[in-house]
Amino acid sequence: MDKREITKAYQSQKQYFNHQTVASVPERIKLLKVLKQNIKQKEEDIIAALDEDFKKPEFETLTTELLVVYKEINLFIKNLKKWQKPERVSSDLINFPSSDKIFHVPWGNILVISPWNYPFQLAITPLIGAIATGNTVILKPSEYAPKTAQILEILISEVFKPEVCQVIQGDAETADYLLDLKWDFVFFTGSVNVGKIVSQKIAKNMTPHCLELGGKNPCIVDKTAKINTSVKRILWGKFLNAGQTCIAPDYLLVHENILNEFIESLQKNLHEFYGKDAKESENYARIISQKHFERLVGLLENQNIISGGKYADNELFIEPTLVLNPDLESKLMKEEIFGPILPIISYKNEEDLEKISLKNDKPLALYVFSENRTFQDKMIQKYDFGGGVINDTVVHFVNDKLPFGGVGKSGVGNYHGKHSFNVFTRQKSVVNRKTYLDVPIKYPPYNKTVLFKKLLKFFR
């Protein structure tokens, strides 16, 4: 789509929102039900598209893409009517008599830019919240997952009128042009570096936004951790989607007392997960593009690889790889990895943990494996992060009662469930003053100062 067509689509939605009454709650719920039905009909196509884009295993598509989307749609269908009701709050005595309410209203025309790593779920989930709350939406999916982007375009065009919601395909230049337009709200999911660019571009219009980014997520393993269980949960969270997950453990900090046993368990369980040759496994995805593949291979240079390390350029395959005690100043430990490479660093005490973890910005996630309640609490309270889990990884994402988002460079704002409703609406306050009584103290001439000073005593 060229710039002229993009501008036309943008203006069409802008005019529609400005000149039309926002669709009623029943109408929006009906749209969500149609969307859900169309997704159900296209399940096999979605699975096939993700397989073509980067060989995502069917089970991972069912669980991390479709299940999450269905949960979000069902939650909005069930609760939208209740959430949308104006919230009555108590009146202030100064305004007596009055009734005060908070209305939840849509922002207007929203731009959603979605990433390639979970290209269906991370496009549709925010779109559900945006549409359910009465906004119009232009969705820009990632060009790195073209088959999924095509499915998204077909799906959206079959469910929504273009002036309500449509997909615009394109590369970084298209995204750049879209961000130059004046939106009422922008929702972006992607890397920290691109997130900075998005933030700078929309700042000129002071556009409200939600940025879901990433970071180097620490995974701390205390000497009291149950080794085999911890290993399985860490490997699952790390190598899910071939490590291309923003909340995957980025590196392990393992207490020196259990390091050798822990490494043995890591190697043993990797073999059980993916067999002798992960390239032949149906349970392991590929790297999304040549660009990302080459960056990851570069991170392995001059590292102490203790398991894995093989790769195949022609298949964009990188074996699940363990690296022991990397140089903390290397690119591997400076950049978010976002791939199937897991550095393991041994530590002696909490001072070591602090020296290593505080080298990086506040992460999107933090994981702690320990049977020591005091240690658990100390780690959770000491470090700042978006969301965390004790004795597991990644699973906080699936609880729609928890807000999902980052802090600092790992993100701005949060969503999921009711939190999606909150992020895609703004609060509008209304005080309805009654006319059967009008206290004259506020009107000029101000000859009631002595009386007001007496009243002021109640507030001091």
DSSP H or E segment with residue 306:
strand 305-307
Give catalytic status of residue 210 as yes or no: no
For residues 393 and 237, the answer to whether their CB atoms sit within 8 Å is: yes
In the predicted structure, residue 308 carries a pLDDT above the cut 90? yes
The pLDDT-based confidence of 383 (bands split at 50, 70, 90) is: very high
57 burial level (CB within 10 Å; 0-12, 13-18, 19+) = buried
Residue of 259, 331, 286, 366 whose CA lies nearest to 116: 286
Average per-residue pLDDT for the chain = 95
In the predicted structure, residue 312 carries a pLDDT above the cut 80? yes
Catalytic residue, candidates 60, 65, 72, 212: 212
Q: What is the DSSP code (8-state) at residue 215? A: -
What pLDDT, on a 0 to 100 scale, did the predictor assign at position 302? Answer: 94
- The model's pLDDT over 280-296, given as tens digits with 9 standing for 90+, comes to 999 999 999 999 999 99
**CA torsion sign, 243 to 247 to 252 to 254?**
negative
In angstroms, the CA 230 to CA 46 distance is: 32
Catalytic residue, candidates 165, 210, 219, 246: 246
**The token pair that represents 293 in the structure block:** 């593949």
In the predicted structure, residue 448 carries a pLDDT above the cut 80? no
Backbone angles phi, psi at 150, to 5 degrees: -65, -45
208 burial level (CB within 10 Å; 0-12, 13-18, 19+) = middle
The angle formed by the CA atoms of residues 4, 6 and 10, to the nearest 5 degrees, is: 115
In angstroms, the CA 324 to CA 252 distance is: 10
In angstroms, the CA 424 to CA 414 distance is: 10
Top pLDDT among 316 and 360 is at 316
- The model's pLDDT over 227-244, given as tens digits with 9 standing for 90+, comes to 999 999 999 999 999 999
- The model's pLDDT over 154-185, given as tens digits with 9 standing for 90+, comes to 999 999 999 999 999 999 999 999 999 999 99
Q: Which domains occur in the chain, in start order?
A: 3-213+410-427 (3.40.605.10), 218-399 (3.40.309.10)
- The model's pLDDT over 47-70, given as tens digits with 9 standing for 90+, comes to 999 999 999 999 999 999 999 999
The pLDDT-based confidence of 21 (bands split at 50, 70, 90) is: confident
- The model's pLDDT over 59-105, given as tens digits with 9 standing for 90+, comes to 999 999 999 999 999 999 999 999 999 999 999 878 889 999 999 99
- The model's pLDDT over 392-406, given as tens digits with 9 standing for 90+, comes to 999 999 999 999 999
What pLDDT, on a 0 to 100 scale, did the predictor assign at position 185? Answer: 98
In the predicted structure, residue 441 carries a pLDDT above the cut 80? no
The pLDDT-based confidence of 203 (bands split at 50, 70, 90) is: very high
In the predicted structure, residue 349 carries a pLDDT above the cut 80? yes
Which residue matches tokens 């206290």? 439
For residues 384 and 410, the answer to whether their CB atoms sit within 8 Å is: no
Residue of 218, 163, 225, 147 whose CA lies nearest to 382: 218
The pLDDT-based confidence of 454 (bands split at 50, 70, 90) is: confident
In the predicted structure, residue 2 carries a pLDDT above the cut 90? no
In angstroms, the CA 33 to CA 28 distance is: 9
In angstroms, the CA 389 to CA 257 distance is: 23
In angstroms, the CA 441 to CA 66 distance is: 61
Give catalytic status of residue 256 as yes or no: no
Strands 305-307, 321-324: parallel, antiparallel or unpaired by DSSP? antiparallel
- The model's pLDDT over 410-438, given as tens digits with 9 standing for 90+, comes to 999 999 999 999 999 999 999 999 989 98
For residues 182 and 205, the answer to whether their CB atoms sit within 8 Å is: yes
In the predicted structure, residue 325 carries a pLDDT above the cut 90? yes
In angstroms, the CA 117 to CA 123 distance is: 11
Q: How many CB atoms lie within 10 A of CB 413?
A: 17
What pLDDT, on a 0 to 100 scale, did the predictor assign at position 112? Answer: 98
What pLDDT, on a 0 to 100 scale, did the predictor assign at position 458? Answer: 74
Euclidean distance between the first and the last CA atom of the chain, given in angstroms as a whole number: 62
